[in-house]
């Protein structure tokens, strides 16, 4: 014991003498980074609260713009709207004979009729091009001309509006909502279709195709689903440049998949709100890994980095739970073994190295809140999609890919469970019928908060997916 | 402390880049030699050096010009190395099942080894042994101080030192055979 102590002290002295003032030239570019870090201004980091606040602000701004520019016109804005399509102008001539009619309404419904003031000044030649042209620029009605109704809808009589156009041009007002029939392309669900049909039948009015129900009408609901391949990877921020550089060199994105079931609320023909539930499998592959295969059994027994004995990854901390024992980290949760000492203990005649890959997979369930704006509103339409989502991490695990196949080795630790992401995309849509649409949408999703944070790095997963799906509108 | 170095430190506190560079050039070699003993490789040594010098310049105003400036910087470097070490939580690892035998020795082999050889051997130690050996044998801290710095018991510190010495002897022996 005394001999050991003496020997130990002797070793200590030798190392102290030779190494305590050891002078080693540092890397030549080490200073430049120190200088940068000492003098650079602190970057304004987008923390999670700031990002959430920014997202909400964006949402509010988008909503405000929509309210200002895109919402359905109220009765005050009717003068700016186109009145007739050429098709309806032609059809209307046959219904011009309609003058004063009464149609029963559901009991208790209080409806007002309005007559446009300009009609009083006009002639009865309502179907002439001149009149139609005039109708495009003249308000159809105003509040000062509303006439209380007691039990039904009346066609405005000729005395009040001598040039009155056929019934389909009438303006009806309910206490809650103005429903304007003349705006054929934007008939709202608030209009009682039965009532309209009764009137059309009673007057033998020609029914224009534009009266058919179309998707995109105000207040339409729909459901749908999307599924597609995604390219998943991550962005590293706030980190040590060396660690970030190393991880970027040894890690790669991977192809995975994602899907969702959604419901839609089409506020108007162009703007749709979407929510639902989605499943996203993201992750990455790690290349700087070598496994040691037991010569006798052929099993992969030990796992380590090629350069070090520590496997450094950017998406969570590795752990192992599989058998045979994989040492996926210097200190695996629940395990005692260390790579370095295991290798010493096993000896080189026991194992042989094999190149392998690690595959990290993160599975999220997400509830999104998206806005879709239809830029091109045709049979083949184009949408711009944007919004935010809350996602919950339901699984984080690691597998080893070797020449023996894929082996699950354990879970990932220290990952953020609840996360927020931002979504942006473009969407092509094709209307098969009035109720059914197909979609093809390239979408980018970026996690606003770090899903994994260590002293060296902050990890933000992202995905670029091409989703295909369909939606059905009621 | 010479008058010159004090002036350089004062200029550095004011943010003079040339003075800061001069301070760095003066101490970088020794500090990198220290870092490389605690690190597992050159990349980590460089990071410790850079992190340490950033702290030196950020806290230079706290230096009271009492005692050795080099000693002050050295303590910052050691603490920076220990911070990394603590974050990686090496001390809780156990190797109880591994039997290290004290090899029969030829102590005079030590005198034949170069500083580079010793550095290589020390870097091959696992982190917990490397750190305790560095702190005790080279920096001169006591087991009590080490236990406080690393948040471990004195017994663990002594045990780690003992095992570090055993491994070092084994490696030296192996080096001698291959050499």
| ipTM of the modeled complex | 0.81
B95 and A341 within 8 Å at the Cβ level: the answer is yes
Q: Give the nearest chain A residue to B122 (CA atoms).
A: A15
Q: Does A433 touch chain B (CB under 8 A)?
A: no
A interface test, pick of B123, B138, B140 with most A CB neighbours within 10 Å: B138
Q: Tokens 């019928």 — which residue?
A: A433
pLDDT at A23: 87
Conformation bin of residue A429: beta by default, left when phi > 0, alpha when psi is -120 to 50: beta
Kindly report the nearest CA distance between residue B7 and chain A, in angstroms.
19
Q: Does A61 touch chain B (CB under 8 A)?
A: no
Q: Give the nearest chain B residue to A36 (CA atoms).
A: B54
A8 and B162 within 8 Å at the Cβ level: the answer is yes
Indicate the residue of A26, A34, A330 with minimum beta-carbon distance to B32.
Answer: A26
User: ∠A246-A250-A252 over CA atoms, to 5°?
Assistant: 125
**Residues of chain B positioned with their CB less than 8 A from the CB of A35:** 17, 20-21
Q: In this structure, what are the phi and psi dihedrals at residue B171, rounded to the nearest 5 degrees?
A: -65, -40
Q: Give the nearest chain A residue to B102 (CA atoms).
A: A4
pLDDT at A420: 94
B118 and A246 within 8 Å at the Cβ level: the answer is no
Residue, of A150 and A51, whose pLDDT is higher? A51
Model pLDDT for residues A365-378, shown as the tens digit of each residue: 999 999 999 998 88
A331 and B58 within 8 Å at the Cβ level: the answer is no
| pLDDT class of A423 with cuts at 50, 70, 90 | very high
pLDDT(A201) > 80? no
Kindly report the nearest CA distance between residue A31 and chain B, in angstroms.
8
Q: A–B: how many Cβ contacts below 8 A?
A: 132
Nearest by Cα to B43 from A341, A23, A456:
A456
Kindly report the nearest CA distance between residue A411 and chain B, in angstroms.
18
pLDDT at A37: 83
Tell how many helices (H) and how many strands (E) occur in chain A: 9, 19
Kindly report the nearest CA distance between residue A449 and chain B, in angstroms.
22
Least confident of A48-62, A289-303, B98-112, B154-168: B98-112
**Residues of chain B positioned with their CB less than 8 A from the CB of A30:** 28, 32, 46, 49-50
Is B60 buried (19+), middle (13-18) or exposed (0-12) by CB count in 10 A? buried
pLDDT(A145) > 50? no
| pLDDT class of A39 with cuts at 50, 70, 90 | confident
B161 and A8 within 8 Å at the Cβ level: the answer is yes
Percent of the residues in chain A that have a pLDDT greater than 90, as a whole number: 23
A336 and B32 within 8 Å at the Cβ level: the answer is no
Tell me if the bond preceding A324 is cis, omega within 30° of 0: yes
> b or e along A371-387 (b: 16 or more beta carbons within 10 Å of the residue's beta carbon)?
bbbbeeeeeebebebbb
Distance, in Å, from the CA atom of A366 to the CA atom of A421, rounded to the nearest integer, reads 9
Q: How many CA atoms lie within 13 A of A293 on its CB side?
A: 14
CA distances from A458 to A284, A363, A447 (A): 15, 18, 11
Q: Give the nearest chain A residue to B106 (CA atoms).
A: A7
Kindly report the nearest CA distance between residue B128 and chain A, in angstroms.
11
Distance, in Å, from the CA atom of A225 to the CA atom of A458, rounded to the nearest integer, reads 32
pLDDT at A389: 94
Average pLDDT over residues A267-295: 88
Indicate the residue of A22, A31, A240 with minimum beta-carbon distance to B115.
Answer: A22
pLDDT(A403) > 70? yes
A interface test, pick of B95, B124, B139 with most A CB neighbours within 10 Å: B95
Just give the CATH number of B3-87: 1.10.1740.10
Asked if A392 contacts A418 with a C-beta cutoff of 8 angstroms, the reply is yes
Indicate the residue of B33, B40, B162 with minimum beta-carbon distance to A24.
Answer: B33
Q: In this structure, are strands A152-154 and A146-147 parallel, antiparallel, or unpaired?
A: unpaired
Least confident of A196-200, A434-438, B132-136: A196-200
pLDDT(A229) > 90? yes
Q: Name the range with the highest mean pLDDT among A83-92, A149-158, A406-415, B20-29.
A: B20-29
Average pLDDT over residues A143-150: 34
Structure tokens at B55: 């702290």
User: ∠A26-A30-A35 over CA atoms, to 5°?
Assistant: 135
Indicate the residue of A22, A242, A340 with minimum beta-carbon distance to B47.
Answer: A242
pLDDT at A441: 93
Kindly report the nearest CA distance between residue A361 and chain B, in angstroms.
23
**Residues of chain A positioned with their CB less than 8 A from the CB of B108:** none
First to last CA, chain A: 88
Q: Give the nearest chain A residue to B161 (CA atoms).
A: A8
Three-state DSSP at A168 gives helix
Q: Give the nearest chain A residue to B28 (CA atoms).
A: A26
Q: Which residues pair with A422 in a beta bridge?
A: A388, A446
Nearest by Cα to A74 from A159, A1, A179, A144:
A179
CA distances from B7 to A173, A326, B15, B61 (A): 87, 56, 13, 13
Dihedral angle, C-alpha A189, A192, A196, A199, nearest 10 °: -170
Q: Where are the domains of chain B?
A: 3-87, 109-178
pLDDT at B53: 92
B28 and A26 within 8 Å at the Cβ level: the answer is yes
Q: Give the nearest chain A residue to B91 (CA atoms).
A: A331
pLDDT at B151: 81
Model pLDDT for residues A304-363, shown as the tens digit of each residue: 777 666 677 888 877 666 545 565 555 444 444 556 556 666 666 777 788 888 899 999
A22 and B30 within 8 Å at the Cβ level: the answer is yes
Average pLDDT over residues A115-125: 39
Specify the fold of B109-178: Arc Repressor Mutant, subunit A (1.10.10)
Distance, in Å, from the CA atom of B111 to the CA atom of B114, rounded to the nearest integer, reads 8
pLDDT tens, per residue, chain B with 179 residues:
555 888 889 888 888 888 999 999 999 999 999 999 998 888 889 999 999 999 898 888 888 777 788 989 999 999 899 888 877 655 443 333 333 334 444 445 666 778 888 888 888 888 888 999 999 998 888 898 888 888 888 888 999 999 998 888 888 877 766 65
Asked if A3 contacts A10 with a C-beta cutoff of 8 angstroms, the reply is no
Domains contained in chain A, CATH given: 48-65+218-473 (2.40.160.20), 82-209 (no CATH)
Q: Which DSSP letter does residue A145 get?
A: G
Structure tokens at B148: 């406080």
**Residues of chain B positioned with their CB less than 8 A from the CB of A242:** 43, 46-47
Indicate the residue of A4, A18, A330 with minimum beta-carbon distance to B115.
Answer: A18
In the sheet where A112-114 sits, what is the strand order?
A146-147, A112-114, A171-173, A178-180
Percent of the residues in chain A that have a pLDDT greater than 70, as a whole number: 54
Average pLDDT, whole number, for chain A? Answer: 68
Model pLDDT for residues A89-105, shown as the tens digit of each residue: 334 333 343 333 433 33
């Amino acid at each position: 014991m005394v001999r050991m102590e003496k020997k130990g002290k002797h070793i200590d002295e030798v190392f102290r003498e030779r190494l305590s003032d050891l002078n080693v030239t540092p890397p030549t570019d080490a200073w430049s980074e120190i200088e940068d870090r000492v003098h650079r201004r602190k970057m304004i980091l987008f923390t999670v609260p700031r990002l959430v606040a920014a997202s909400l602000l964006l949402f509010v701004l988008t909503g405000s713009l929509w309210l200002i520019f895109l919402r359905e016109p109220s009765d005050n804005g009717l003068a700016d709207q186109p009145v007739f399509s050429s098709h309806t102008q032609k059809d209307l001539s046959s219904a011009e004979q309609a003058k004063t009619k009464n149609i029963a309404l559901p009991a208790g419904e209080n409806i007002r009729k309005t007559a446009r003031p300009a009609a009083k000044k006009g002639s009865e030649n309502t179907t002439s091009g001149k009149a139609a042209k005039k109708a495009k620029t003249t308000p159809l009605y105003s509040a000062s001309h509303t006439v209380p109704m007691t039990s039904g809808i009346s066609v405005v009589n000729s005395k009040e509006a001598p040039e009155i156009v056929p019934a389909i041009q009438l303006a009806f007002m309910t206490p809650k909502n103005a429903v304007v029939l003349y705006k054929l392309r934007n008939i709202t669900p608030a209009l009682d279709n039965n009532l309209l049909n009764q009137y059309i039948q009673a007057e033998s009015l020609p029914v224009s195709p534009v009266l058919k129900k179309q998707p995109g009408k105000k207040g339409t609901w729909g459901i749908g689903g999307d599924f597609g391949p995604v390219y998943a990877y991550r962005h590293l921020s706030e980190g040590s440049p060396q660690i970030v550089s190393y991880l970027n060199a040894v890690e790669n994105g991977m192809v995975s998949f994602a899907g969702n079931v959604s419901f839609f609320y089409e506020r108007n023909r162009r703007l749709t709100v979407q929510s639902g539930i989605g499943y996203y499998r993201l992750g990455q592959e790690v290349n700087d890994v070598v496994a040691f295969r037991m010569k006798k059994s052929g099993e992969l027994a030990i796992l380590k980095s090629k350069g070090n004995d520590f496997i450094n990854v950017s998406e969570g901390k590795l752990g192992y739970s599989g058998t045979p024992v994989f040492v996926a980290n210097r200190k695996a949760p629940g395990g005692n073994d260390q790579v370095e000492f295991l290798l010493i203990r096993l000896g080189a005649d026991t194992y042989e190295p094999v190149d392998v890959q690690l595959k990290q997979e993160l599975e999220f369930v997400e509830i999104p809140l998206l806005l879709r704006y239809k830029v091109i509103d045709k049979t083949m339409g184009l949408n711009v999609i944007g919004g935010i989502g809350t996602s919950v991490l339901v699984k984080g695990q690691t597998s080893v890919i070797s020449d023996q196949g894929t082996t699950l080795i354990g879970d990932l630790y220290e990952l953020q469970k609840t996360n927020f992401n931002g979504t942006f995309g473009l969407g092509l849509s094709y209307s098969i019928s009035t109720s059914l649409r197909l979609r093809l949408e390239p979408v980018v999703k970026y996690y606003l908060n770090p899903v994994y944070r260590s002293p060296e790095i902050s990890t933000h997963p992202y995905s670029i997916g091409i989703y295909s799906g369909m939606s059905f509108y009621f | 402390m010479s008058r010159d170095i004090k002036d350089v430190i004062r200029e550095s506190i004011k943010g003079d880049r040339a003075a800061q560079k001069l301070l760095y050039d003066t101490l970088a070699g020794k500090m990198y030699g220290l870092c490389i003993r605690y690190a597992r490789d050159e990349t980590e040594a460089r990071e410790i050096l850079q992190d340490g010098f950033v702290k030196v310049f950020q806290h230079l105003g706290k230096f009271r010009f009492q005692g050795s400036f080099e000693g002050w910087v050295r303590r910052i470097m050691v603490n920076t190395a220990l911070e990394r070490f603590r974050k990686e939580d090496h001390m809780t690892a156990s190797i109880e099942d591994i039997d290290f035998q004290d090899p029969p020795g030829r102590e005079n082999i030590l005198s034949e080894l170069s500083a580079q050889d010793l550095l290589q051997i020390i870097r091959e130690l696992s982190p917990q042994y490397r750190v305790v050996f560095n702190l005790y044998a080279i920096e001169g801290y006591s087991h009590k101080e080490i236990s406080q710095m690393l948040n471990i018991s004195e017994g663990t510190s002594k045990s780690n030192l003992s095992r570090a010495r055993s491994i070092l002897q084994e490696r030296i022996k192996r080096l001698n055979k291959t050499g």
